[in-house]
Structure 1
């Protein structure tokens, strides 16, 4: 081996080493521990390894068959060992009966008991007989355990089945427990009702038959009873129009009665009773009465009764008004026009007098205002004139002073 003053090998490295100074060991995963003397890369890898320097194990703890994989990607080149699938053999097979599955998809040809699905990844229902079901859809292969039914055996037989057994469609085997009926024993027989069918239908129900949940009589009530369970007695003699469920009369009530149950009495002032809905006297009132319920009395001045609708009537002599309840006044007819004419005259005169007084007041007011305005104007003019004259007098006084100054002085006389 030769190297220069810097320790760099001038003629390369011996086998098993690489680098400028040949100090690096070749990877032990390279065949014969031989690598490129410059880069340290392996030309190929030992079985079970891949990568440029064969530094990686083939995936998932050597699950590749024959421990062989692609030296660059790590993909298993010879498939997977039993029980695994995938390009790296990283996925375990499901509950396949043979323990093996398709190396690419992982699908099983058959499943272990208790499992189903393409990869046998799902569990059969525990209610399937022997825990066996079809691989394609999970339907129980050999039927269900006692007490269950359905394709997946996930529905329970009725607890009211006599033997707690039923067919795959849920029909009870061996019939029903007492008071229960139906193919699946899921309803009460005709004379019982309630959550556990222990309650007995009313003896007042026809055929003693009732609804299995509410207890309402299926075919109605026996004569003399009503309500949904027929436990109430009719208040009065039940007619053919009487509804035995509700206690209501579906037709008219007996004369003199009204209301839903015909248990209310019409007003005595009604003729031939009243109508069912509200007791109004639609067939008329006895003489002297009027109104919807015939409670109001006709006017004292009516000749013979009054109309039911509004109490109007024909009045006796000396009476007046819509209902003849007012006595006529005895004022003579001829005196009325004279009084009205006198009143009209007085009122007209009064209005004319008031109007004339208003006109005079307005005229005098306007005249007084005009005179006042004239006086004010004259006063203002007088004041203005006096001021003007005063100013003029003051001006003339100045001129006089100037004239006095212009006259000859004593000084001139001495000269």
Structure 2
């Protein structure tokens, strides 16, 4: 217990003069306070009020806050909190350690899987099962490491038209190996007005015509 300033000397109690009726435990500087328990030199980091008896809560940095207003001194909060008092919760779907901007509450480390937006408020139809790696919602749900074999598109939700589930270019869907291209049927018109269908073969296949 720190020494209270007043008529009492050192740590000697004098009940008639009400010395040391309060603790000055969280006072800063030399730890002293007056007879009303008001700290003379501010508070230790993490505490506020005249008697430094209240906790600053979730303030970031060294945890200090303004002695009277309780606003966090370093304009920063512990992860998952924001606002001048650091008592407001960051958006639920913020990624990483869950931290967000002190003023705007915008998520600072991207979003949890399948969410996007500055505050991760948007649900992304992100089919992680078709991405080579889990999709990165920080980029709007795009599969940044490419698609698993047999799929293409920004979120790998389109099926490649390649033989044996072959891989295709993620942006266009073109088979990476020409020989894997699946045969398609295209119409052919003859001079007599009749229409037949020619099977366009994959490379190396014999021509095959049908009526």
Class of the TM-score when normalised by the shorter of the 2 chains: 0.5 to 0.7
User: Is the 2:133–2:146 Cα contact (8 Å) retained in structure 1?
Assistant: no
User: Is the 2:26–2:43 Cα contact (8 Å) retained in structure 1?
Assistant: yes
Structure 2: where are the runs of 5+ without partners?
Answer: 1-5, 187-196, 198-210
| CA RMSD of superposed structures (Å) | 4.7
Tell me how far apart the structure 2 counterparts of residues 54 and 96 of structure 1 sit (CA, whole Å): 34
Give the TM-score, by structure 1 length.
0.30
Structure 1: where are the runs of 5+ without partners?
Answer: 1-10, 184-189, 191-206, 208-415
Aligned with residue 35 of structure 1, among 30, 33, 36: 33
Tell me how far apart the structure 2 counterparts of residues 171 and 22 of structure 1 sit (CA, whole Å): 83
- Closer, same or farther in 2 for the Cα pair 1:142/1:40, shift >3 Å? closer
Alignment of 1:225-240 (within 5 A): none
User: Is the 2:48–2:56 Cα contact (8 Å) retained in structure 1?
Assistant: yes
Tell me how far apart the structure 2 counterparts of residues 54 and 18 of structure 1 sit (CA, whole Å): 24
Give the TM-score, by structure 2 length.
0.52
User: Is the 1:134–1:141 Cα contact (8 Å) retained in structure 2?
Assistant: no
- Closer, same or farther in 2 for the Cα pair 1:109/1:51, shift >3 Å? closer
Q: Deviations over 1:314-335 (max 9, x none)?
A: xxxxxxxxxxxxxxxxxxxxxx
The structure with higher relative contact order (CA 8 Å, sep 6+) is 2
User: Is the 2:133–2:143 Cα contact (8 Å) retained in structure 1?
Assistant: no
**How many aligned positions are there?**
166
Shift of 1:69: 0.6
Write 1 or 2 for the structure with the bigger share of helix. 1
Runs of 4+ in 1 over 4 A off after TM superposition: 11-20, 81-85, 89-94, 108-117, 119-125, 155-158, 166-172
Q: Deviations over 1:42-74 (max 9, x none)?
A: 3532222112321122213xx421332111233
Shift of 1:157: 4.8
Partner of 2:118: 118
Aligned with residue 156 of structure 2, among 139, 153, 157: 153
Aligned with residue 52 of structure 1, among 50, 53, 56: 50
